[in-house]
Amino acid sequence: GDSVTQMEGPVTLSEEAFLTINCTYTATGYPSLFWYVQYPGEGLQLLLKATKADDKGSNKGFEATYRKETTSFHLEKGSVQVSDSAVYFCALRSMTTDSWGKLQFGAGTQVVVTP
């Protein structure tokens, strides 16, 4: 079945540092890929997405490129702020009979940015 694997957290880094969160997937066919962010005490919000190979999703300074050859969708940001402290979830959607198009989420990666 479909699955998403994320790097374990927490990831702790200083303000203005470079952030990378690794995400790899296993899926049938050609899934769409997503990054969601959860701020403390809130629900998840869509951060960015990519629907086909080599697409780059971007939002709020974050970027992720859909790499079919490595089945990856790593999230990056060049200079993080304290306000980026959150839990980040990688997710995929594949249109197969079993998955029915539902989102499959990774376990989440907590990011802590210190001043």
Q: In terms of CB distance, is 1 or 78 closer to another protein? A: 1
Give the residue with the Cβ less far from another protein, 17 or 105.
105
- Provide the minimum distance between the beta carbon of 113 and another protein in the complex, in angstroms, as a whole number: 20
Pick the closest to residue 46 from 2, 90, 76 (CA basis): 90
Least spacing, CB of residue 103 vs another protein, in Å: 6
59/79 with CB nearer another protein? 59
CB 85 within 8 A of CB 75: no
Pick between residue 25 and residue 32 the one whose CB is nearest to another protein: 32
Residue indicated by tokens 């940001």:
77
In terms of Cβ atoms closer than 10 Å to its own Cβ (0-12, 13-18, 19+), residue 21 is buried
Tell the smallest beta-carbon distance from residue 44 to another protein (Å).
4
Give the interface with another protein as residue ranges (CB under 8 A).
Answer: 32, 34, 36, 41-46, 49, 51, 89, 93, 95, 101-103, 105-108
Q: Least distance to another protein from the beta carbon of 20, Å?
A: 19
Residue 88: Cβ-neighbour burial (10 angstroms; 0-12, 13-18, 19+): buried
Q: 3-state DSSP call for residue 83? A: helix
